[in-house]
Amino acid sequence: MANQPLMPMATAVWLVDNTTLTFRQIATFCGLHELEVQGIADGTVAVRMVGHDPIKNAQLTQEEIDRCQEDETADLKLLSNAVPAQRRTKGPRYTPVSKRKNKPDAISWLVRNHPELSDGQIGRLIGTTKPTIEAVRSKTHWDMPNIRPQDPVGLGMCSQVELDTAVAKAAKARPEKVIQTEQPPEQETPEVPEETPSNEFAAAQKLGNLLSGDAS
């Protein structure tokens, strides 16, 4: 169809890995079924396919993607005429195909350890979609029994600096969500009772005094 990108599946792979668009938005733009897009996000569809950047290939603009990321009811519009390729200056890095299956693990770790992060921030950090984040957050993800929380920094999905920056920004915006570290209660130093001579010691001391008196 004329209103679809030239490489629909590869474009969908790129959009899943690099935006926080919903499955519906990506499916509508690429002419795919929502379940196909979910399969891409879960690592069960197009596993070895390299994403096709619709921005560099003059099919979309970053502004159009941003517009639809802000409004989940909006639909992406394919550029009607060619424009010079645009280089992305910000946003999530491309997630290698081999690491897509670890995205739910990274999401679970972030949701558990940093509830102050918004879905948009999580999506930008590890390159995933809001539906996938919501599925992990609500424990309705299809692979929930096999999800094991893992630090996205350790998985190579973002840098420690990027994570720290996002957490600091989220803590200012949503301070009520920050997990407070409980301080251990101060331990009172027990009072040491004054030592008093035991009965046996007192008796021995008295006997010694008597013996020393007899000797004199």
160 and 104 inside one domain: yes
Choice among 26-35, 66-75, 175-184 with the minimum mean pLDDT: 175-184
The Cα–Cα gap between 109 and 96 comes to 19
Asked if residue 24 is part of any domain, the answer here is: yes
**pLDDT at site 28:** 93
Average pLDDT, the chain: 78
44 & 109 share domain: no
Q: What does the pLDDT read at residue 200?
A: 62
Percent share of the chain, pLDDT over 70:
71
Residue 73 pLDDT grade (very low, low, confident, very high; cuts 50, 70, 90): very high
List the domain range (segments joined by +) for residue 35: 8-70
Residue 99 is predicted with a pLDDT of 62
- Angle in degrees, CA 54, 86, 41, rounded to 5: 35
Quick one: which of 137, 101, 100 has its CA closest to 119? 137
Verify that 161 and 105 share a domain, yes or no. yes
56 and 115 part of one domain: no
Residue 89 has pLDDT above 50, yes or no: no
Cβ distance 162 to 151 under 8 Å? no
Look at residue 186 in the predicted model and tell me its pLDDT.
56
* Confidence (pLDDT) at 170: 87
Q: Which of 32, 23, 24 is nearest to 4 (CA)?
A: 32
> Is pTM, for the whole model, over 0.85?
no
Residues 66 and 125 in one domain: no
Note the pLDDT of residue 127. Answer: 82
* 169 within domain boundaries: yes
pLDDT of residue 176: 76
Q: Can you say whether the dihedral through the CA atoms of 91, 92, 93, 97 is positive or negative?
A: negative
**pLDDT, tens only, 195-215:** 555 556 666 666 666 666 555
**CB neighbour class for 57 (10 Å; exposed up to 12, middle 13-18, buried from 19):** middle
Three-state SS for 64?
Answer: helix
Domain total in the chain: 2
Q: Is residue 194 part of a domain?
A: no
CB 114 within 8 A of CB 153: no
- Report pLDDT digits (tens) over 95-133: 555 567 788 999 999 999 999 999 888 988 888 888 889
